[in-house]
Protein backbone atom coordinates (compact mmCIF):
# COMPACT_ATOMS: atom_id res chain seq x y z
CA UNK A 1 0.00 0.00 0.00
CA UNK A 2 2.76 2.40 0.87
CA UNK A 3 4.58 1.38 -2.25
CA UNK A 4 1.42 2.19 -4.25
CA UNK A 5 1.21 5.58 -2.59
CA UNK A 6 4.83 6.18 -3.47
CA UNK A 7 4.22 5.36 -7.13
CA UNK A 8 1.07 7.48 -7.15
CA UNK A 9 3.02 10.45 -5.76
CA UNK A 10 5.77 10.13 -8.32
CA UNK A 11 3.44 9.81 -11.27
CA UNK A 12 0.75 12.33 -10.34
CA UNK A 13 2.43 15.02 -8.27
CA UNK A 14 5.39 15.66 -10.50
CA UNK A 15 7.97 14.21 -12.81
CA UNK A 16 10.76 15.06 -10.41
CA UNK A 17 13.29 12.43 -9.55
CA UNK A 18 12.34 10.83 -6.26
CA UNK A 19 14.70 8.00 -5.45
CA UNK A 20 13.23 5.32 -3.25
CA UNK A 21 16.47 4.82 -1.35
CA UNK A 22 16.75 8.50 -0.51
CA UNK A 23 13.13 8.92 0.55
CA UNK A 24 13.20 5.80 2.75
CA UNK A 25 14.60 7.48 5.89
CA UNK A 26 14.31 4.53 8.30
CA UNK A 27 15.51 1.95 5.73
CA UNK A 28 12.59 -0.43 6.14
CA UNK A 29 12.12 -0.78 2.39
CA UNK A 30 8.77 1.05 2.46
CA UNK A 31 8.33 4.69 1.53
CA UNK A 32 5.48 5.96 3.69
CA UNK A 33 3.50 9.13 3.13
CA UNK A 34 5.41 10.82 5.97
CA UNK A 35 8.70 9.97 4.31
CA UNK A 36 7.44 11.30 0.98
CA UNK A 37 6.38 14.51 2.75
CA UNK A 38 9.79 14.83 4.42
CA UNK A 39 11.49 14.28 1.09
CA UNK A 40 9.22 16.85 -0.58
CA UNK A 41 9.93 19.43 2.13
CA UNK A 42 13.66 18.81 1.85
CA UNK A 43 13.58 19.32 -1.90
CA UNK A 44 11.41 22.41 -1.50
CA UNK A 45 13.82 23.89 1.07
CA UNK A 46 16.77 23.25 -1.23
CA UNK A 47 14.94 24.85 -4.14
CA UNK A 48 14.06 27.88 -2.00
CA UNK A 49 17.71 28.21 -0.97
CA UNK A 50 18.78 28.18 -4.61
CA UNK A 51 16.13 30.74 -5.58
CA UNK A 52 16.97 33.06 -2.69
CA UNK A 53 20.67 32.82 -3.61
CA UNK A 54 19.96 33.58 -7.26
CA UNK A 55 17.72 36.55 -6.43
CA UNK A 56 20.31 37.83 -3.93
CA UNK A 57 23.02 37.76 -6.60
CA UNK A 58 20.79 39.76 -8.95
CA UNK A 59 19.92 42.27 -6.20
CA UNK A 60 23.60 42.68 -5.25
CA UNK A 61 24.50 43.25 -8.91
CA UNK A 62 21.75 45.86 -9.32
CA UNK A 63 22.69 47.60 -6.07
CA UNK A 64 26.36 47.72 -7.05
CA UNK A 65 25.38 49.17 -10.42
CA UNK A 66 23.12 51.81 -8.83
CA UNK A 67 25.69 52.70 -6.18
CA UNK A 68 28.41 52.92 -8.83
CA UNK A 69 26.42 55.04 -11.25
CA UNK A 70 24.86 57.45 -8.75
CA UNK A 71 27.76 57.50 -6.33
CA UNK A 72 25.84 56.94 -3.09
CA UNK A 73 29.00 55.54 -1.55
CA UNK A 74 32.43 57.10 -2.19
CA UNK A 75 34.67 55.00 -4.41
CA UNK A 76 37.25 54.57 -1.69
CA UNK A 77 34.71 53.03 0.70
CA UNK A 78 33.20 50.91 -2.06
CA UNK A 79 36.63 49.51 -2.84
CA UNK A 80 36.98 48.36 0.76
CA UNK A 81 33.81 46.25 0.75
CA UNK A 82 34.10 45.05 -2.84
CA UNK A 83 36.21 42.07 -1.83
CA UNK A 84 33.65 40.90 0.72
CA UNK A 85 30.82 41.40 -1.74
CA UNK A 86 32.74 39.30 -4.25
CA UNK A 87 33.13 36.49 -1.71
CA UNK A 88 29.42 36.59 -0.88
CA UNK A 89 28.49 36.43 -4.56
CA UNK A 90 30.86 33.50 -5.10
CA UNK A 91 29.35 31.66 -2.12
CA UNK A 92 25.81 32.28 -3.36
CA UNK A 93 26.84 31.18 -6.86
CA UNK A 94 28.18 27.99 -5.30
CA UNK A 95 24.78 27.26 -3.75
CA UNK A 96 23.01 27.85 -7.06
CA UNK A 97 25.58 25.82 -8.99
CA UNK A 98 25.47 22.94 -6.51
CA UNK A 99 21.68 22.85 -6.65
CA UNK A 100 21.66 22.87 -10.45
CA UNK A 101 24.42 20.27 -10.62
CA UNK A 102 22.90 17.86 -8.11
CA UNK A 103 19.43 18.28 -9.63
CA UNK A 104 20.60 17.35 -13.08
CA UNK A 105 22.88 14.62 -11.74
CA UNK A 106 20.05 13.02 -9.72
CA UNK A 107 17.73 13.40 -12.69
CA UNK A 108 20.05 11.33 -14.85
CA UNK A 109 20.44 8.52 -12.30
Given the rule CB under 5 A, which residues bind Ca ion?
Answer: 24, 26, 28, 30
Our CB check for Ca ion shows the closer of 32 and 43 to be 32
Contact present, 24 and 37 (Cβ < 8 Å): no
Closer by beta carbon to Ca ion, 42 or else 48: 42
Nearer to Ca ion, 21 or 84 (CB): 21
Dmax (CA) of the chain = 66
* Distance in Å, CB of 108 to Ca ion, minimum: 25
Closest CB to Ca ion among residues 34, 75: 34
Taking residue 69's Cβ as centre, other Cβ atoms within 10 Å add up to: 8
Please give the radius of gyration of the chain, using alpha carbons only, rounded to the nearest integer: 21
The nearest distance, CB 106 to Ca ion, in angstroms, is 19
Shortest spacing between CB 7 and Ca ion, in angstroms? 15
* DSSP per residue, 16-59: ----HHHH-TT-SS---HHHHHHHHHHHHHHHHHHHHHHHHHHH
Amino acid sequence: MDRDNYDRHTSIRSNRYRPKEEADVNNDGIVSDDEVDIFDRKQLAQRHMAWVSLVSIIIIAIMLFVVGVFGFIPDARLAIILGEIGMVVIALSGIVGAYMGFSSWLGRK
